[in-house]
Structures are given as C-alpha cells and as structure tokens.
Structure 1
Amino acid sequence: MKIAIIYSTSSGITKKAAKILSNKIKAKIQLIPIEKAKTACLLKYDFIILAGSLYHGKVQGTLKRYISRNMGTLMEKPVALFMNCDEKSNTKSHLNKTFSEQLVKSSFISSNFGYEINPDEGNFIDKIKAKKTLSSENIPVLDMDEIDKFASYINNLIDKRIE
C-alpha cells in the first residue's frame, strides 16, 4: 500500500509529526510538503493523510486551497487527517475549519497531535514568544500517545485490506 502524507507547516512541527508518524506505519510512505503537492499526486496513492498546523487559529492558506481544488478526488480516496495545535482548544471545531466538515466526516480518522515550540523558527516576535513559553513550567510537546493511536488505526486498516 502506498500512502502520501501531504502537510503544511509554518514552524516545522507538522513535518516532524509527519516523519514520526511515517516511521510507525507499516506501508510505503511518501512525505509531501504542500508546496510540492500536485493534483496528480493524489491518484498515485492508495491512502492520503493530510496534515496542517494551526497558527493563531488558522491553517496555512496553501493547504486550504489544495483541499478545495481537490475535494472531489479526496472524497473518493481513503483519507485521514491530523493537525498540530494547542490541545486545550476545541479540536472538532478546528478540524472542521482546517479541513472542511465534509472531509472530516468522510475521513477514517482525524486527530490533534498537539504542538511543540521551536524558538529558532518564525519571525522575531514569534521567537520572543517561544522563548517566554519555554521558560514557563508548561512546555508544550507533541502527543506521542495520540500519534501512536493514529498509526495503530492506520496499520489496522492496512492489515484488514491485505487479509
């Protein structure tokens, strides 16, 4: 089975999460940054995982446009979705805003992997905010349990398809 993980990221955390996830799935995985994703890409794969990061409550416009342009094809393919954002936020609402309610409802699984802060990424203001957050007691980290659950679900789908 060939799986594409198409992702958008502003700070590199979604790329990191996609790499971690790809190492846990028992299939041939291709990581594709949204800037390099083409409509034809979707046709080459048996399963599509879309991923985005929320920044100030919004996902990158490139991912939104890609989904909008390819909604017909995406609705015909097995799809899974994940995002990276503050775990305390309303995950269901953010998933619907990020990927569209229609796509979320038709996906096999959708999840929020949480987020990390990288003090070396972003503009000057982002770096200052990151350094302040890192000096506090509540340092955000990716939710490895959620990534494991997501990978396990995908692996179960693969096993059922092969049987």
Structure 2
Amino acid sequence: MKTYIIYTTRHGAAAYCARQISKQLPGEVRLLDLGEGTPNALPEADRYILGGSIYMGMAQKALKGFCEKYGEALAQKPLGLFLSCMGVEEDMVQRQMIDAFGQRLLGHAKVAVNLGGAFDFDKLGRMERFIVKQVDKAMRKQGKEGLGPLKGQVSAITSEAIADFCLKMEG
C-alpha cells in the first residue's frame, strides 16, 4: 500500500509528526512538504494523510489551498488528518480542523486528530514569544496547566498519540 503524507510546518512540529507517522505505517510511505512547493498534480497513492501546524490560530495557506485544489480526489481515497497545535479545547481544535481541511474532507476522514504542538521558545520571534506568554497566562487564569516552562523546547506531542493515529489509519 502506498501512502502519501502531505504536510505544512512552520517551526517543525508537523514535520516531526509526519516523519514519526511515516516510520510506523507499513508499505511505501512518501512525505511531501508543501512548504517546498505545491505539486502540479496530486501524487498517486492508495491513501493520503494530510497534516499541518496551526500558527496564531490559523492553518497555513498552502495546506488550505491544497485541500481546496485536490479535495475532490482526496475524498475518493482513505484519508487521515492531523493538526499540530498547542490548543487542547475540543471546540477550538474542531474549528481549526474545519479551517485547515474543510468540512467535506473532515467528514470523509478515517481519523482526524490534534497530535499536539511543539516549539522552541528561544527560537521564536519577539511577537511569537509575546503571544505564547499571553496564551499561557490565559490558560493559567482558567485554572488549566498552561504551556509549561517558557524556555527551551516545549512539546505536547506524544508517541502514544502518534501510535494511536497510525492504528486508526490501519483499522
């Protein structure tokens, strides 16, 4: 079985998820980073996995454009969808899923999940650090755990979440 994992990433979290998924699926698995350009045609495969990161609450344009351009063809094959975002509230993640992939692909997908987000706080730009601090502060005000220590690498991606995604794709 040939699987194409097509993704966008900003700081590398979605790329990490895509690579980890590719290692756990049987058969031929190819990766396509839309940040390197959108293909002129949908690569031929038996199934597809689409993924992307959420940046400032929004999916990346390349992913949304790809879904719009190839949505009809993607809806004809088994499909898995993942996001890489720090959001944990189900309704917010659901809105981001719809924004990224569209209602049609979301309804067709065998599995659609948030695998968690990650970032290197020290490598973020000034505005990005400010936003992360504000999100962390708001989460703590609501009695939630927050994003963790705001220095170095912060990750909410787990190997269990990736393994579960792969099991659902195979099931």
Residue aligning to 1:105: 107
Question: Residue 52 of structure 2 aligns to a residue in which SS?
Answer: strand
Residue aligning to 1:161: none
Question: Residue 67 of structure 1 aligns to a residue in which SS?
Answer: helix
Higher strand proportion: 2
Report the CA distance shift for 1:36/1:30 in structure 2 as closer, same or farther (over 3 A): farther
Residue aligning to 1:160: none
Question: 82-91 vs 105-114, which deviates more?
Answer: 82-91
* Whole-Å separation in 2 of the counterparts to 1:50 and 1:32: 10
Spell out the pairing of 1:39-118 with structure 2 (5 A cutoff).
39-42=40-43, 44-89=44-89, 90=91, 91-118=93-120
* Whole-Å separation in 1 of the counterparts to 2:2 and 2:123: 32
* Whole-Å separation in 2 of the counterparts to 1:121 and 1:77: 38
Contact 2:86 2:156 (C-alpha < 8 Å) held by counterparts: no
Residue aligning to 2:26: 26
How many pairs are equivalent? 154
Residue aligning to 2:125: 123
* Whole-Å separation in 1 of the counterparts to 2:150 and 2:49: 33
Contact 1:118 1:130 (C-alpha < 8 Å) held by counterparts: no
Report the CA distance shift for 1:40/1:136 in structure 2 as closer, same or farther (over 3 A): closer
* Whole-Å separation in 1 of the counterparts to 2:150 and 2:13: 20
Please provide the CA RMSD for this pair.
2.4
TM-score, structure 1 normalization: 0.82
* Whole-Å separation in 2 of the counterparts to 1:148 and 1:76: 25
Runs of 4+ in 1 over 4 A off after TM superposition: 127-134
Please tell me the residue identity of whatever aligns with 1:63.
L
TM-score, structure 2 normalization: 0.79
Question: Residue 83 of structure 1 aligns to a residue in which SS?
Answer: strand
Please tell me the residue identity of whatever aligns with 2:158.
D
Residue aligning to 2:160: 145
* Whole-Å separation in 1 of the counterparts to 2:116 and 2:97: 13
Report the CA distance shift for 1:6/1:121 in structure 2 as closer, same or farther (over 3 A): farther
Q: Which runs of 5+ in 1 are unaligned?
A: 157-163
Report the CA distance shift for 1:109/1:135 in structure 2 as closer, same or farther (over 3 A): closer
Please tell me the residue identity of whatever aligns with 1:150.
F
Following TM superposition, by how much is the alpha carbon of 1:50 offset from its aligned partner in structure 2, in angstroms?
Answer: 0.3
Following TM superposition, by how much is the alpha carbon of 1:47 offset from its aligned partner in structure 2, in angstroms?
Answer: 0.4
Contact 2:4 2:29 (C-alpha < 8 Å) held by counterparts: yes
Question: Residue 21 of structure 2 aligns to a residue in which SS?
Answer: helix
* Whole-Å separation in 2 of the counterparts to 1:39 and 1:106: 23
Q: Which runs of 5+ in 2 are unaligned?
A: 137-146
Following TM superposition, by how much is the alpha carbon of 1:141 offset from its aligned partner in structure 2, in angstroms?
Answer: 2.2
Whether 1:135 and 2:149 are equivalent positions in the alignment is yes
